[in-house]
Amino acid sequence: MQRERLGSRLGFILLSAGCAIGIGNVWKFPYMVGQNGGGAFVLIYLFFLLVLGIPVMTIEFSLGRASQKSPVRLYQQLEPKGSKWHYHGYVALSGNYLLMMFYTTVGGWMIQYFLSTASGKFNGLSTQQVEEAFNQSVCGNPVTMVGFMALVVVLGFFICSFGLQRGLERVTKYMMIALLVIMVILAINSFTMDGAKEGLSFYLKPDFQKMQEIGVGNVVVAAMTQAFFTLSLGIGAMAIFGSYIGKERSLMGESINVAILDTFVALVSGLIIFPACFTYQVEVGSGPSLIFVTLPNVFNNMPMGNLWGALFFVFMTFAAFSTVLAVFEDILSCCMDMFGWSRKKACLINCLLLLVLSLPCALGFNLLAEVHPLGGSTTFLDLEDFLVSNILLPLGSLIALIINMIYFMVRRSMKFTELMDCLPEGFKQMVPAILILCLAWTIGDVTKALGAPEFVADLVSKFGPGLKNFLPAVVFLIAAFLGFATGTSWGTFTILL
């Protein structure tokens, strides 16, 4: 079967950026800024995005382009004969399914909130009443939860069924352009608010004293983690788009373009939200409830609040749906490669499959509310998000780095000992130690998540609470080591492929 191609470079950039740009940029980034001291967090986040995100993204693109296969088959194409790296292809595919099992539910929330805000359903409600509406009318109603989740799934596969150029690329182009325009309009409106000066000062002016109060280590880890996960790395979501572009494109340049768009959306989200928070005396560090509980109350008190609220949740819907479409394409490509299905057959089967797989998350807030997979008050969404964010994404990026190293050495007839000899004295002992720590932290997370004996997790935790959160730093260090070893900046030695 001939490999499909994107119709234009703009389509590739917007589609890849659409995969990276998601709810995490608009929902998670602002409240993490609020919880971690404002401008100091932003500064550190940008640093790690530059030195961590772009190299690993380039590596994922290179895997896709070198193999010309979907994530589930690319390892078989590149790995040395007799090795078992291709098993990770199936893990990556599982990660895509797992991500969509909860992401479709959250995307449904965005559509429902857009309709509620546009119709004035939240008008006159206090913050507490908005919270009750979210918990009871939205999450507590299994019919609406399943209905809006199903709408996201069916609409997503319907668009993908038209093909790469006529469906996914065409819709994503218009959606991403509309998203960027709406963001600029909302940001300009926020600049006119009374609390704009205070909000922008909090957001853009680094306050290192406040950073010290929160804890320098906490802020650095939070910024590093956000920079790592914002680009959707580790489950092949970016590798698939690398397989759709030709060798005349610079992978480093395309990665920079995608990272710029992703960062633009995250930063402008803060420009929209923080002036409004300071104008209406809203707690900027209120966490995930900032979007679904706090902001609707802000729109209630804002002139033309229904209009601005509706625009905001249209923007949120586009951000969520752009990721849904990109990951659906990843899933479809894997199924077509594995089973030889046509695109329409793959869309139909996967649509039915995801409708079933997404039910635990959609029903986890109502009919299955008594089930707590991770203990406490956790839901299926918490479990699925934990497995993807804390396990599959960082571990997948680590494996992508290793596969790139192996493929590079085989392609260039370079032995492992020669690679190690390129490293400064002391680094040779650090590389194996870093790999062991990565696995130890991951195993510790898994044992905690599954309630298994926690001797491994306890062994890791005695080195300090939150140590597992340094996994993004580990991946960055490995990328830096490989870059130094091959004499190529940014660790993106695969640019030579």
pLDDT in tens, 357-394: 999 999 999 999 999 988 888 889 888 887 887 677 76
Question: Can you read off the two tokens belonging to residue 330?
Answer: 């990843």
Provide the pLDDT confidence category of residue 488 given band limits of 50, 70 and 90: very low
Q: Provide the pLDDT for residue 285.
A: 61
Reading the block at residue 459, the tokens are: 């062994």
pLDDT on residue 364: 93
* Amino acid in position 427: F
Mean of the pLDDT values across residues 68-91? 79
**Burial annotation 391-429 (CB, 10 A radius, 16+ → b, else e):** bbbbbbbbbbbebbbbbbbeeeeeeeeebeeebeeebee
Residue 53 pLDDT level (bands cut at 50, 70, 90): confident
Question: Higher confidence at residue 290 or residue 112?
Answer: 112
Task: Report the range out of 99-103, 150-154, 167-171 with the highest average pLDDT.
Answer: 150-154
Query: Which has more pLDDT, 429 or 115?
Result: 115
Q: Tell me what pLDDT residue 422 has.
A: 36
pLDDT (average), residues 67-72? 83
Listed residue (43, 456, 465) closest to 227, CA to CA: 43
pLDDT in tens, 208-229: 887 888 787 778 777 776 776 6
Give the least confident one: 104-118, 142-156, 171-185: 171-185
Dump pLDDT digits (tens) for 19-48.
777 777 776 787 778 778 788 888 888 887
Q: Say if residues 98 and 235 touch (Cβ distance below 8 Å).
A: no
Is pLDDT larger for residue 380 or for residue 273? 380
Asked if the model's pLDDT at residue 108 lies above 90, the reply is: yes
Average pLDDT over residues 338-364: 95
Tokens 């995250």 belong to 266
For residue 7, what pLDDT is reported?
63
The model's pTM is 0.77
Percent residues over pLDDT 90 in the chain: 15
pLDDT at 259: 87
Q: Is residue 475 a contact partner of residue 397, using CB atoms and an 8 Å limit? A: yes
